[in-house]
Structure 1
């Protein structure tokens, strides 16, 4: 009896310790990432970005969520105006992402990671940074360079951001097709989720995929325009307007550059869609571009389901699953109003990051569900084995572990804004004080407008926090 119990205890310890010895912290198995980030996001909403950084879990380079921790830290350093530190942190995150692309290293590590995931949950797998998060990484890195007066460095980052979107567009359909086939081969389909898994359509909104980001294209267009590369600017403004055709500032940008570059066919087409272009440019004026970050993206939540899975050893049986989800509809943000020289301008949305996150998750569901099927079957086989070898005690404790460790992978870049809006207009050069209405409160923004140059203003309106940075391009 004692020998049998000792054997069982050894098996149980190995069972629990296996994922921990690879790339997991204990909290990752039993608590979940979104829960760990609650205090961080609360501090972020208060504008206490230094405290938010201190609340981040310290993760070693061998931890599967190390790159995600770098993204969170880099974002909080950016919000704290510590652009040099943010630049270094994001540079390390980029190195980690590039190493993930090294297929040989990934193949060596994946077998161990998948084994850890089988006996615990998806948190044992190294976090694969989604394309939309990679795009935001390079966008913020570009802003880090700009606020340190390095336009050439910013252009390098913005080209990397565009490359991310181009790569995603090429592999997107193949990845979705492969994931759906793997799920079908496991004997299930996403139809199994009907009725139990919350519908994310309201959180997804109108986006067609989870990676095409009009904000990144727009920022790219602004930087190219500032550097005198008008053809490249025009290409990226056109990319942006295909995603957000209703944005009036984007409409004016494509009309203006189509006219400037003599793109007559394009100009006719755009004027049919957006109205006749009326040139408002005058020599000596400055150009104001305002980027407005609104609130914080929602975190993924854990939803429990009971789904049928078939097996030759025990037939059709219902198992408990945990899957991540973005619940609820998109938050509604009031438009911010800016006043200058007797003119009033309202913000217009250029990206809803919450929508990209929800669409990316929906596209990942076939892969998530496939791993869940493998996991619950493996855990059931272990439970049966321990039940045979250690009796009721083994059966009970294995069942308890299975339930306790069944946590959805709720990891995502959780300190990103919910959405980004833009404003663009021309104004007189010289010292200017812009008045902005933010949720019923008036804020003043002081800028030095230089003739024939773009003054970029980045505003963060997060919870009770309002902050801004300016740079002349």
Structure 2
């Protein structure tokens, strides 16, 4: 009986850990909606222990850094994102202890390591923090860190595309500002290739600035190696180079998806196949598939009935789909430069087969262990045997919870525009375009001063 109580207690403890993932958004979204970024920041800090806990410290600092960035408190954002990056670096080398615990319990017991696209977003925000503060040297440090992070992602799994056109483009922009023309050219070429491998079409403005840079640095031949028609003229990019000043708008549109649970059930034959069924959340239809089942200790070719949950994308209502910008009366629409929603789709698609296999093996091993535990705890008391059996089954089933952890405040998509301007005072209006027409928000910057050679970055956080 003592062992049974311990097993039940462990199951309840693990359930509470998983609930942090499922309730974090429900707890923080109202604060963001009602009290804005200040309210959300206060809520995150106040309820850190309950909503994040020790295993989600990366997310705690990542969420805080993101919120401070939207709030235009770039220094505080940089400090929090630095802490998130430190945690990620510390966890880069896998912890054997945590991995071993995850084998017999669930993925929630491991410290959260971040999804590849979250690392990309972290470095994009961090570079933009320093650019918004006018600190090119600080931005250069972040560029080096970003490039190292991309290299690590490639080394970890070179069969997956974890590169990102927007991040590479930002690197090129920073190198340009620092006068490092060779490195800028390399980054711009990498940006083009990353866009081609990614999930959004190459932005026309990006291609124009790439053309201008490569021609100006006597690398026009490199354009022939890229999968795009070279431009005959680059009026905006050339004017930006000639004047030296720009107003650069970075628009964050909509709220990125969160994760919900997708329940699967079926059969597992050790060393044979596993056949799983699930309800498609998009169509409502029951779907099924079959995968090879790896051998597990104690399986002996027996058929096991298993059930478990996996993370699936949960799209949030979107009110913003883009932006209209006016600079001194000149109007234009920024282009989408990153699609976080599509990045999550890709990540789930890539990770699901591995997650299914790992989870199915874990559930099967626990099923075998539960059967052995029932035999070991069997007594002459029929009622006690029934309670023991039910308690063991409940505890075993509750051990498996999907890992729903994810950064909560990323944008659904990112837009960017670059406008060359003269030195002096300018008036800028940015309107967030609504999903159903009209405008969902307006951001006005009156009497915006632009000094000689300055690149003014305007952050537009339409996270709705």
- Which residue is 2:267 aligned to? 308
Q: Which moved more, 1:74-83 or 1:244-253?
A: 74-83
Superposed displacement of residue 271, structure 1: 11
State the Cα RMSD in Å.
2.9
- Which residue is 2:139 aligned to? 154
Q: How far apart in 2 are the matches of 1:411 and 1:421? A: 26
1:273 partnered with 2:229: yes
Going from structure 1 to structure 2, the CA distance change for 1:250 and 1:373 (only over 3 Å counts) comes to same
Superposed displacement of residue 170, structure 1: 3.3
Q: How far apart in 2 are the matches of 1:63 and 1:40? A: 18
Match of 1:37 among 6, 14, 25: 25
- Which residue is 1:213 aligned to? 164
Superposed displacement of residue 157, structure 1: 0.9
Deviations 1:34-87 (A, max 9, x none): 432223134334562232234334249982222222211222222233333322
Match of 1:287 among 225, 236, 246: 246
CA contact (8 A) 2:254 2:318 kept: no
Superposed displacement of residue 318, structure 1: 2.6
Match of 2:87 among 69, 92, 96: 96
Going from structure 1 to structure 2, the CA distance change for 1:225 and 1:28 (only over 3 Å counts) comes to same
- Which residue is 1:438 aligned to? 432
Tell me the secondary structure at the aligned position of residue 415 of structure 1: coil
Superposed displacement of residue 89, structure 1: 2.0
Going from structure 1 to structure 2, the CA distance change for 1:310 and 1:434 (only over 3 Å counts) comes to same
- Which residue is 1:16 aligned to? 11
- Which residue is 1:385 aligned to? 372
TM-score by length of 1: 0.78
CA contact (8 A) 1:308 1:316 kept: yes
Tell me the secondary structure at the aligned position of residue 229 of structure 2: helix
- Which residue is 2:456 aligned to? 455
Deviations 1:432-453 (A, max 9, x none): 0012232234432232223443
Q: How far apart in 2 are the matches of 1:250 and 1:261? A: 17
1:65 partnered with 2:56: yes
- Which residue is 1:466 aligned to? none
Q: How far apart in 1 are the matches of 2:163 and 2:411? A: 16
Structure richer in strand, relative to its length: 2
Please, which runs of 5 or more residues in structure 2 have no aligned partner?
196-200, 271-298, 379-384
1:128 partnered with 2:120: no
Going from structure 1 to structure 2, the CA distance change for 1:293 and 1:10 (only over 3 Å counts) comes to closer
Q: How far apart in 1 are the matches of 2:360 and 2:226? A: 50
Deviations 1:173-201 (A, max 9, x none): 36x7xxxxxxxxxxxxxxxxxxxxxxxxx
Q: Which moved more, 1:288-297 or 1:447-456?
A: 447-456
Q: How far apart in 2 are the matches of 1:64 and 1:381? A: 28
Tell me the secondary structure at the aligned position of residue 410 of structure 2: coil
1:50 partnered with 2:38: yes
1:319 partnered with 2:310: no
1:232 partnered with 2:188: no
Q: How far apart in 2 are the matches of 1:269 and 1:450? A: 38
Going from structure 1 to structure 2, the CA distance change for 1:215 and 1:41 (only over 3 Å counts) comes to farther
Please, which runs of 5 or more residues in structure 1 have no aligned partner?
177-208, 464-473
Going from structure 1 to structure 2, the CA distance change for 1:309 and 1:332 (only over 3 Å counts) comes to farther
- Which residue is 2:420 aligned to? 426
Superposed displacement of residue 260, structure 1: 1.3
Tell me the secondary structure at the aligned position of residue 37 of structure 1: helix
1:350 partnered with 2:333: no
1:107 partnered with 2:108: no
Going from structure 1 to structure 2, the CA distance change for 1:306 and 1:297 (only over 3 Å counts) comes to same
